Amino acid sequence: MEPVRQHPEQLAAAEKKLAELEERTGKKPNILIFLVDDMGWGDPGAFGGGLAVGAATPNIDRLAEQGLKLTSTYSQPTCTPTRAAMMTGRLPARTGLTRPTLTGEAARVNPWDNEETAASLLSDAGYVTALSGKWHLGVGDGSQPQQVGYDEYFGILSVVSEFTQGLDDHKYPELIRNPERMAALKQLSTSAVTAGKKGELAKVITDLDSLDKVAEIDQQFADFSEDFIDRAAKSDKPFYLVHSFSRVHNDNFSASEFKGKSLARTPYKDAVVEVDDIVGRLIHKLEEKGIADNTLVFFTSDNGANEDAWPDAGFHPWRAAYLGH
């Protein structure tokens, strides 16, 4: 019952194109969304970054070259509200998901009690749905992705800095060297890769008890997404997959395969190269399965580059910047 700005001509044009695509392929289009965490506007080569700023992004650049570049768009100020807007199609003020939940903070109400996700709508329309990677829209019972519309979830419910703050003695000594604070942190926060099927509570897959394990989580997410695409391609249903990176939010620790792979040789730039490689892997998987031409692919960052967590900071031409948490 909320007011909506109508665009009937655009809607009719979109419906015509989708109908023609379905007639040609015999199936509704798959949807793959790449959602990066805190990547700067100027990090990908397609927007002036790439090799020029120390990390080539050929796979992201290829998407931009072959597709449509949206150059006048706006995000919310932090991770959670951006993701809430994307998942619901509504302003975060409507959902109450206006900022990230802090460590140990218990929500008084579950905003998902009155919300509908794109995943649930597409599920009702016959899609198989999955979220791979970072959620950051609730950790409690009733607010996990597989409980709000996704058939499958594999990833992290919060944010990577929740895990590294209890592991990096160099950056967080006042926490790690204080036994009382560390005991409190372990009671308040679960550091793990988790997974769940529709309607279930998520279960722990990997305890993130070392920086080496944290460094590899995006590779786990990529493995899951490849497997999901494999399984979905064999079914008679279209799929909706949100591949949500933990990268490049602070704190970045290079995955073993990508350590020193960037021209800059820094953990942040290595992470940009890893993101690009995963984009390439999943696009290759679509091509391998013969479904690339019937898949709508979107690539976006949830908000701009972080500038209060150097060296975990990207590039952009703006005077102001996103400040992390």
Q: Is the dihedral of CA 75, 78, 80, 81 positive or negative?
A: negative
Cα–Cα distance measured from residue 211 to residue 89, given in angstroms and rounded to the nearest whole number = 35
Active site residues: 79, 136
